[in-house]
Amino acid sequence: MPTPTGRQAGPIDVEAVRERVNAALAEFMDGQSVLLAKISPQLVPTVDALREFLLDGGKRLRPAFCYWGWRGAGGSAGSEGIAHAAAALELLQASALVHDDLMDRSDTRRGLPSVHRRFEALHRDSGWRGDREQYGASAAVLLGDLLLIWCDELFIRSGLPSAQVLAAKPAFDLMRTEVMVGQYLDVLEPVAGDSADEGALERARTVLHYKSAKYTIERPLQVGALLAGADPELVAAYSAFGLPLGEAFQLRDDLLGVFGDPAVTGKPAGDDLREGKRTLLVAHAMRGLAKADARHLDERLGAPDLTADEIPVLRTLVERSGAAELVEHRIDELMREALTALDSAPLVDGAARTVLLALAEAATVRKY
């Protein structure tokens, strides 16, 4: 697997970690399903929706970084506790996605109906009274909240010694705070931000750091390391590796959100344009276009009446601006920074370095 530095990542078994995380999630959901069934048979649709959302798809990227952060700090490869603790990050991710899809009015997730659309359909097909869209939105809010509660429950009850869990809990809690405030700043920018002012790029970077970069890679690595009793030097090294890598990951996601193939992304073409996301890619595009084109992009981005025919027009404007090339160049810079940090990180288990190198490649080299 080639990297920007020309090195090769050796053979790894990332899929084995994914299977262990999936097994931990399935075991946890079995227990929660019994609990909800005791409360009321009317909760069966919620159980089905959550099981499908959690277990049918997902790259398990955050659990993978958590697990290999643990291994790099000397944690045991055979520990079942780390598989459960890492799986808690996937419950957090699922919570964020359920809410994110609702806020973005997304119809699909991973090629399937988003949770709020699923419950709208349940309302319609059941012939229930009232506003089905409001019911779908209410269900998504509550189920997302339930997943957020469960992520804490699974982390605390992972089976790892309580001292190790308590050592990692502040980083776990900080990660959850950061992603929530990052999401709020993302919601704020389209309604309160001025895409033409000098602060737009910096605000876009702030959203990128807190909504995605820290949450996706840096904090999961640190949580895994702290669970294994890592010293501050390794925790800092994981930050030096994880933050630029997380930024590169999100920049790749921004490109996919505009230019991605729906068959690959599981989302409609140009979905970020329809949703009006003010990403770093868009901020660069605003600066690279003539005033009239920048104004048009600004006015039509995320407009309620935006038509499917307008998506290719907006995509062409972004492409013409040169923003995509700027972002690709920045991804390369960030990857070099991340891999340099990984080279010097004081990892206890050398196998972790090889796997983290491969994970870095998988997180950032996704085609559109």
For the stretch 31-63, pLDDT in tens is: 999 999 999 999 999 999 999 999 887 789 999
- How far is Cα 173 from Cα 183, in angstroms, rounded to an integer? 16
* Strand, coil or helix: 126: helix
In tens, the pLDDT along 286-316 reads 999 999 999 999 999 989 899 999 999 999 9
* pTM score of the predicted model: 0.90
State residue 13's pLDDT score: 66
- pLDDT confidence tier of residue 4, bands split at 50, 70 and 90: very low
Q: In this model, does residue 198 exceed pLDDT 50?
A: yes
Q: How many CA atoms lie within 13 A of 179 on its CB side?
A: 25
DSSP string, 255-311: HHHHH--HHHHSS-TTHHHHHT---HHHHHHHHHS-HHHHHHHHHHTT-TT--TTHH
Q: In this model, does residue 6 exceed pLDDT 60?
A: no
CB atoms within 10 A of CB 102: 21
Residue 18 class from Cβ within 10 Å (0-12 exposed, 13-18 middle, 19+ buried)?
middle
Q: In this model, does residue 5 exceed pLDDT 60?
A: no
Nearest to 196 by CA among 277, 270, 285: 285
CB of 250 within 8 A of CB of 212?
Answer: yes
Q: In this model, does residue 109 exceed pLDDT 70?
A: yes
* Lookup result for tokens 């048009």: 296
Beta bridge partners of 2: 8
State residue 8's pLDDT score: 42
State residue 346's pLDDT score: 97
Q: In this model, does residue 193 exceed pLDDT 80?
A: no
Contacts of 307 (CB under 8 A, 6+ apart): none
In tens, the pLDDT along 228-264 reads 999 999 999 999 999 999 999 999 999 999 998 777 6
What's the token pair of residue 4? 């920007």
- How far is Cα 38 from Cα 58, in angstroms, rounded to an integer? 29
- pLDDT confidence tier of residue 219, bands split at 50, 70 and 90: very high
Query: At residue 2, what are phi and psi to the nearest 5 degrees?
Result: -70, 150
Nearest to 368 by CA among 272, 258, 245, 248: 258
- pLDDT confidence tier of residue 10, bands split at 50, 70 and 90: very low
Q: In this model, does residue 185 exceed pLDDT 80?
A: yes
- CA 293 to chain centroid, in Å, comes to 31
Strand-pair category, 108-109 with 112-113: antiparallel
State residue 291's pLDDT score: 92
CB of 285 within 8 A of CB of 321?
Answer: yes
Q: In this model, does residue 9 exceed pLDDT 60?
A: no
Kindly list the structural domains of the chain, giving each domain's residue range(s) and its CATH number in brackets, ordered by start: 14-364 (1.10.600.10)
Question: Alpha helix (H) ranges present in 208-231?
Answer: 219-227
Average pLDDT score over the chain: 91
- pLDDT confidence tier of residue 105, bands split at 50, 70 and 90: confident
96, 178, 233, 277, 334 from 143: Cα distances, Å: 11, 21, 39, 24, 36
